[in-house]
Amino acid sequence: MASECGGGGSIIARRVAERLGWSLLDRALLDAVARAAHVDTETAARYDEHVDSWWHRFHRGGLWCAAVEGGLASADVQFFDAETVASLAHGVIARAAAKGNCVIVGRGAQCVLCRRDDILHVFIYGPWGERVARVRSRGQANGNAEELLRVIDQERASYLRTYYGCDWKDPHLYHVMINSQIGTDDAASMIVDTVQRGNTQLLSPFEAWGYNRDDGI
C-alpha cells in the first residue's frame, strides 16, 4: 500500500491488517532492514525512502575502491546509506510476499511485486486540507506542515523514480486508488472486502491496463 504523506495510509494499512489477521510491515519492515544492516532502527529511519545526494551516488564507487586500496577486504567494505536501505527493503518485501498474508506499506513494494498475480496494489490519496490537518494533529510538523507534506511526497516520488524507474502516482502501478476523504474506516473496509471476496488471482496492474509482463517498467 502506497500513500501520500498525511493521506492516512498507515492508519488504513493497520486497520486492514487487524481485520484480516495479517502481519503489518510498516515499522516492522524498517526493523527488519535495521537488523539486516546491524544498525538501530532510528539510524535506518534516517535513510528510509530517501535518495542519496547526487555527490554521494556519483562517488560511491570511488569511495568503495579507495577503501579497498586502503587495505580493507572488498567483502568488508559496506556503506550504510539510502541505497543500502532500499536494497535491503527490496529483499524484506520479496520475502514477506513469498510468505503471504501481510500488508506492506510503501518502500516501493508496488514495483518490487508488480509481476505477481496474488498481490492487491493500493494507493491512498486525500484532499490537501485534510492531509495538512492530519499531520498537524499528530505533531509531526514542528513548523510548516504544508512544506513537510511537499518534501515527503517529493522524496517518495524520487525514491521510486531513482530505484525502480517508476512514477509514484502512475495508475498502472495499482489495482485501486482510494481517496481517504471517504474515511479511513470505509477505505479499510473497501480493501478488506476486495480481499475477502477471494480475488486471489489478480491481474498485475500492468496486465489490467493492457501491458505484457515482459514489457518491463
pLDDT tens digits, one per residue of 183-217: 999 999 999 999 988 654 454 555 544 545 444 43
CA dist 13 and 200 (Å) reads 18
User: Average pLDDT in the 138-165 region?
Assistant: 87
Residue 127 has pLDDT above 60, yes or no: yes
Q: How far apart are CA 166 and CA 107, in angstroms?
A: 12
- Domains belonging to the chain, first-starting first, are 2-208 (3.40.50.300)
Of all residues in the chain, the percent with pLDDT exceeding 90 is: 53
CB of 107 closer than 8 Å to CB of 163: no
pLDDT band at 142 (very low <50, low <70, confident <90, very high): low
**Residue with the larger pLDDT of the pair 217 and 118:** 118
47 contact partners, CB below 8 Å, separation of at least 6: 80, 81, 82, 84, 85
Assign residue 176 a region: left if phi > 0, alpha if psi is -120 to 50, beta otherwise? Answer: beta
What value does the mean pLDDT take over residues 8-37?
A: 93
| pLDDT, mean of residues 36-52 | 85
Calculate the average pLDDT of the chain: 81
> Contacts for 55-58 with beta carbons within 8 Å, 24 or more apart?
56/81, 57/83
Q: DSSP state, 203?
A: P
Distance CA 97, CA 100 (A): 5
Output the pLDDT for position 40. 87
Question: What tens digit of pLDDT does each residue of 164-174 get?
Answer: 999 999 999 99
Least confidently predicted of 69-73, 80-84, 97-101, 146-150: 69-73
Q: Taking a C-beta distance cutoff of 8 angstroms, is the pair 9, 191 a contact?
A: no
CA distance 143 to 63: 36
Q: How far apart are CA 121 and CA 110, in angstroms?
A: 6
Closest CA to 204 of 91, 124, 112: 112
| Residue 75's pLDDT band (cuts 50, 70, 90) | very low
